[in-house]
Chains A and B, each alone.
Chain A
Amino acid sequence: MDSTSCKVKFKLNDKNVDGEIDPRITLLEFIRNYKNLTGTHAGCEHGVCGACTVLVDGKAVRSCLLFAVQLNGQNVETVENLSKNNSLSDLQRNFWEYHGLQCGFCTPGILMSLTEFFRVNESCTERDIVELLSGHLCRCTGYSNIIKATIAYAKDREILVDGS
């Protein structure tokens, strides 16, 4: 460790992270290259595309815009935490059934934003879902089937309400 290293201590997918790193290492870089969790992707590294979205204390954030050392004491969740024993969660299953992904590069970030959304909201409208998804860029799907998959999930959970 060189003299500029900083201590980091936080939770990543329910496991304790404890170590020293260069303070300029972003959370994205830390997750991908220090912890080898490569499900979180670098799409633009300037906070627009949303491919790098993870949850910090339950809130969806752009991991490319945070330094890992800012995370002390917090709880970080990535896409790898969504499925148990390699089986798809209900939301992931809907993305598969409704063809809500093509190249899959933007998908993990979208799943993380939706995870926060569905934990926090007891009800939602179709418009809420479309607005939420506008924080993510996808070049393949034209969003149509992402929206459909998400609306179907909200319906299954019986939390979709009429927005008109």
Chain B
Amino acid sequence: MVVERRYIGEKAKRVEDHRLLIGEARYLDDIKLPGMLHAVFIRSSYAHAKILKISVDAAKKISGVYKIITAKELSNNNVSDRLPLAFPSGLLHSSAMPKILAENEVLYVGEPIAIILAKNRFIAEDAAAEVEVEYSPLDPISDARIGCKQNSVKASLCCTSNVMKKFSVTSVSVSQDKKIVQTAGSFREKFTIHRGKASPMETRGIIVKPDAFGEKLSVWASSQLTHELRNTIAETLGVQAGNIDVKACDIGGGFGCKFMVYSEEICVAAVAKFLGVTVKWAEDRYEHFLSAIQERDQFWDVQVDYDKAGKILKIKGSMLHDQGAYAPHSITVPYNSASSVIGPYKIPHYELKVSVVRTNKPPVIPVRGAGYPQGTFVVERIMDKIALELGLDRLKVRSINLINKDDMPFMTGLKNRAGVDVVYDSGDYQKCQDLALKEFYKNDFCRNTADNIATGVGFAHAVKCTGRGPFESATVRIGADGHIEVFTGAVAIGQGTKTTLAQICGEILQVNYETINIVCGDTSKIEYGLGAFGSRQAMLAGSAVRAASMAVKEKILNVASQFLTKDYSISFANHQKEIFLQDGEVCVEGRKDVRISFKEISLSLRGSAGYSFPNNMDVGLEATHFFRTDKMAYSNAFHICAVEVCIKTGFVKLKKYLAVQDSGKIINPLTAEGQVHGGIVHGIGNALYEKMQYDDEAQPLTTTFADYLLPTSTEVPNIDVIFNETPSPLNPLGAKGVGEASVPPVAPAIISAIENALNEYNIRITEAPITPVRILELIEASKANTIST
């Protein structure tokens, strides 16, 4: 009896872990190459200033210092002065892209000005201390609310307005508009939402090694997008892309902050190339706090109309987005935020005017969740407010507004950034809500009955777009030694991508998934790829691996049947039914004596001069597939939690947390659950702890993990995760994205619970994160209000 190997949908243990557990992983900073120099950047100490003079003479004299390079030397060596546009031209001015090195003007604290190369990092830092930069300080913009005013000082000398872009996101349902619906009430509310840093435990870094002839560059990077890094190095340095190989090392997390080609990376590649030396830049945590990307402040002001049943009739308003000094990913974050307000709800009329404001802070690009947590926060807070105003149940207000499963696929009426209709592919939002409620109240939590402890329950829905295209790549190859290799443009940054892809390939080719070698993010192995972002790799790279594996399987069966006919005189009416794959061999139903190994088939397709080649077959036991898609799959979630709030200290303790996630068909429930845990705890940070703070001069105040607080194990409650699997019709696996889909509901669920706990004070929370100090202020203000009235 042949037992078929089934991996898709199974809790397959990870293929990545062994090396990581025994200390044998190779992260960027673990790589040492002969003669390698170490780079340290001189960074701006002002948020906004003119650079008058850079004196490097004293620094150069330090023994072990090799070179100090400024913008001038880069320009003398024909390196572009800015990163090339990473979005369609015309969307934003080219000054939205960061400079490789600042020459005349610095726009945020931490902006790179010069690069020092030395024998080791210690010496490079000694030299950095001796470099003198003379600045003429300019007024900085620290607050987007000030910067957006017409008469405000300018965040950059090159701009005439700090508003980099204005746009509207609108959705008006015609059918609803024709009906005359009685407005029962309306309110206007302002929200301030901050998201902070991605904070992977491994910081950024790159190693660039030129070859002996000065033609080729070998690059190792801690990056979520190796192909784009190769292409950008090629463009900025004027080198052919074919002469550059970029490899992803083991990567210690990304969460969005490595989904960008940084100035520092280009600078390192440039100096390595024109000086002909191998250079490593391994960023330290302080630099990371200063200069790696963030998501930061958004200021919302919305007017909401609703009917007497609690149904939303209209949401209309404006949002200011603090973009920082540059916009390397254009308007992705504010556009996503504005689009995500619709969430799982039917909102007949939605209109948001967005202003993207330049400030003197590090640039904003997507952090895990990519703007969705902010829009989700707004609409979920609105739901609670309507319930409060009408004296209705918070869940009922949500239910009455939810999109019905029978409405799928659902035309939201929104357009994406490319002007294409936003259509939700599938989902059953009410079912997720019902399932969560049922499970949450199965076992009650232990309640603290102390006088100063208030207990509350909160919840939130969210919908997250996942699986961004336009494609991802995979080559599946069986070598002449019989080993299976998979090459993909997907990048493994800790999510378990290699395991997921191995499961898919292993099931199709019927081999132990742990024996398959998955190579992610190596540009020398596959020409095209897009990388790790937008909760996409299981869907897109997974579908590509599936198709390539099936093509290889077909090739195996075809060649095997030729062998069987020739060598064993076995012929088939239907080879698909009578022969099957088992552990790297082709077997024949009822003929235990006959076996043909993948190795033999691979050898035959490698060809041998002077001998016969299988009929009608392409060379090589391999197949490449690019899974193309332009449509997004929409994951959704419903989270419910219980909190205790100490009314004396404002301290919030999470007591219980349950998440129902719908990410379509789950390929590996073990790793998918791990992703959900991580996303929820990131969300807990956004709800309660994480804030990048700046003073009025735009000087950062939170530059260590002692100032910028990540959640630790003691802040995390027991988290229950339930997957409701509504398959996506958009890919053959039925999968939707997992990685980001659990972040958006967290902050609104927790804050809803805090408000619920404090309902006797009648307070209203319209900000995230909410700190103990702010909770006490709200309680005090409420008490004062009660006394005065």
**Chain A residues with a Cβ under 8 A of chain B:** 22, 24-25, 29, 32-33, 36-46, 48-49, 51, 78-80, 82-83, 86, 88, 92, 95-97, 99, 101-108, 111, 130-131, 133-147
Contacts and interface: CB of A to CB of B under 8 A. Distances in A.
Contacts of B282: 42
B22 A103 contact: no
A142 B677 contact: yes
B714 A43 contact: no
B705 A39 contact: no
Given A43-B201, A46-B706, A99-B670, A86 B250 contact: no
B interface: dominant SS: loop
Nearest to B20: A104
Given A46-B285, A79-B22, A51 B14 contact: no
Given A46-B285, A99-B671, A142 B201 contact: no
A139 B671 contact: no
A88 B714 contact: no
Contact of A102 (B286, B678, B710, B711): B678
B201 A105 contact: yes
Given A41-B252, A44-B704, A139 B682 contact: yes
Nearest to B120: A33
- What class of interface size applies to chain B in its complex with A? 35 or more
A43 B250 contact: no
A24 B120 CA distance: 13
A107 B250 CA distance: 13
Listed residue (B251, B495, B713) with the most chain A CB atoms within 10 angstroms of its CB:
B713
Contacts of B122: 22, 24-25, 29
B62 to A, nearest CB: 13
Contacts of B681: 141-144
A46 to B, nearest CB: 5
Given A137-B705, A139-B253, A145 B493 contact: no
B26 interface: yes
A135 B710 CA distance: 12
B713 A147 contact: yes
A51 B16 CA distance: 19
B29 interface: yes
Given A41-B252, A92-B21, A139-B253, A105 B674 contact: no
Contacts of B704: 44, 46, 48
Given A45-B285, A141-B674, A105 B202 contact: yes
A107 B713 contact: no
Contacts of A101: 17, 20-21
Contacts of B120: 33
Interface in B179-229: 198-202
B712 A40 contact: no
Interface string B763-782: 00000000000000000000
A140 B251 CA distance: 12
Contact of A39 (B25, B200, B679, B719): B25
A148 B748 CA distance: 27
Listed residue (A38, A80, A99) with the most chain B CB atoms within 10 angstroms of its CB:
A99
Contacts of A111: 21
B494 interface: yes
B22 A104 contact: no
Interface in B238-260: 250-253, 255
